[in-house]
Amino acid sequence: MLTWPAPHVPRLPGEGPVVRVHDSSTGLLVPASSGPTATLYVCGITPYDATHLGHAATAVAFDVLNRAWRDSGLSVRFASNVTDVDDPLLERAAATGVDWRSLADDQIALYAEDMTALGVIPPDVYRGVVEVLPDVVVAVEALLEAGAAYRVPTPDAVDDGTGLGDVYADLTADHDFGAVAGLDRDTMLALSAERGGDPERPGKRDPLDPLLWRRERAGEPAWDGGTLGRGRPGWHIECAVIARDGLGLPFDVQGGGSDLLFPHHEMSTSHARLLDAGHGARVHVHAGMVGLDGEKMSKSRGNLVLVSTLRDQGEDPMAIRLALLAHRYRHDWEWSADQLAQARARLASWRRAVSGNGGPDATATLSAVRAAVAEDLDTPMALHAVDDWAARAVHGAEEPVEGAPGVVARAVDALLGVRL
């Protein structure tokens, strides 16, 4: 799948500190990387509606991690996916009378435009599930072979004479199941029903067992599944296969919004473990949910503020990015229009402050921004450090240091992705 153009990331003098992040599984602050090349997988979009500020906030949060890692002297390998076939996409296409492929293509293109405008560094590995389908089939066959998956009779499948059923993972095969989210069973059952699982499906060994392969149903797209029969993949196996093939196992950080902690990341990590000798992601990092009017912003609820709408209204994408960075990535927060007005004012004041040749010494500001992003991506703290420098620059009481505004502008660009 085509990505979008990479933004220029300026080099800064010296190096940033080791980056630490909050691990959702343990609740601890831990080093985010484990070697000279940091590896990151972030769950991408299901392309049935345009990029809203929740998607943008999650993408920007992990972009800050990517930038902080680079600044600390590491190489970064970043992989992401596009869930370009799944129930919500097919349902939306059917409801609006649009072909599901053209709906997906349009939204994938719009997402790329939004990410370009927001200055998000593109993934090195960017795969749609349709592209990796043969690899998913081999993975599901391997899980069946290993006794970690089973078939469930599927009388409503298109009759092709094979009589093959849907395939589900057998969670009892994974002794570490549950370690990612650490939830009790009732919560897991409730979240599974809410977030794409099918605990009521008859014939499963355990209501939580997740779908790996869905046999073809009338009117649904389907592909050759080898010994699985024609059909399409379940959701979680997609991310397990793309992360394994794009990054290798184990990899450093599995990221996404907190709505994915369970079941998606629990299940995809479980699949990865069974595919590769117990290895999944080292650290699980989740961005909070962006809400609007008291509810999670979501395509299914329709309470969306779209990045593309704001751009069409002439909003500077850097102001949108600054509005997102003003929140701790891990906390849930509510969008409101006044946040954009504040971000616009901040952007203007920073631009004014860096417009001269000289300004207050930038050494401490650079260190403060670096320290803030390296400590669990504390972007509000980083913004305050720049605000402080900008206020002093405008005040003009300090002996000006030549080149200092350039250092601040490059730091803001490289570490926060905000071009002044």
Nearer to Zn ion, 127 or 327 (CB): 127
Per CB under 5 A, does 59 bind Zn ion?
Answer: no
Nearer to Zn ion, 229 or 234 (CB): 234
Per CB under 6 A, does 339 bind ligand 5CA?
Answer: no
Of 54-62, 197-205, 215-223, 275-283, which part binds ligand 5CA (CB under 6 A)? 54-62
Q: Are strands 290-292 and 295-296 parallel, antiparallel or unpaired?
A: antiparallel
Closest by CA to 251, choosing from 19, 33, 80, is 33
Closest by CA to 320, choosing from 214, 418, 208, is 418
**CA separation for the pair 351, 318 (Å, rounded):** 11
Distance of CA 151 to the CA centre of its chain: 31
- Distance in Å, CB of 416 to ligand 5CA, minimum: 19
Per CB under 6 A, does 242 bind ligand 5CA?
Answer: no
- Distance in Å, CB of 238 to Zn ion, minimum: 7
Per CB under 6 A, does 83 bind ligand 5CA?
Answer: yes
Q: Could you tell which of ligand 5CA, Zn ion, none binds residue 242, using a CB distance below 5 to 8 A set by kind?
A: none
Among 117, 120, 275, 287, binds ligand 5CA (CB under 6 A): 287
Q: Which tokens is 413 given?
A: 């660009």
Q: Are strands 290-292 and 333-334 parallel, antiparallel or unpaired?
A: parallel
Among 19, 38, 43, 343, binds Zn ion (CB under 5 A): 43
- Distance in Å, CB of 255 to ligand 5CA, minimum: 7
Q: Tokens 């220029």 label which residue?
A: 8
Closest by CA to 170, choosing from 201, 205, 196, 197, is 205
In the three-class reduction of DSSP (H, G, I as helix; E, B as strand; rest coil), residue 88 is classed as: helix
Per CB under 5 A, does 239 bind Zn ion?
Answer: yes
Nearer to ligand 5CA, 297 or 319 (CB): 297
Please give the radius of gyration of the chain, using alpha carbons only, rounded to the nearest integer. Answer: 23
Contact 142, 275 (CB under 8 A): yes
Q: Could you tell which of Zn ion, ligand 5CA, none binds residue 289, using a CB distance below 5 to 8 A set by kind?
A: ligand 5CA
**CA separation for the pair 181, 284 (Å, rounded):** 9
Beta bridge partners of 292: 295
Interacting residues with ligand 5CA (CB under 6 A):
43-46, 54-55, 57-58, 81, 83, 239, 256-257, 259-260, 287, 289-290, 296-298
Interacting residues with Zn ion (CB under 5 A):
43, 239
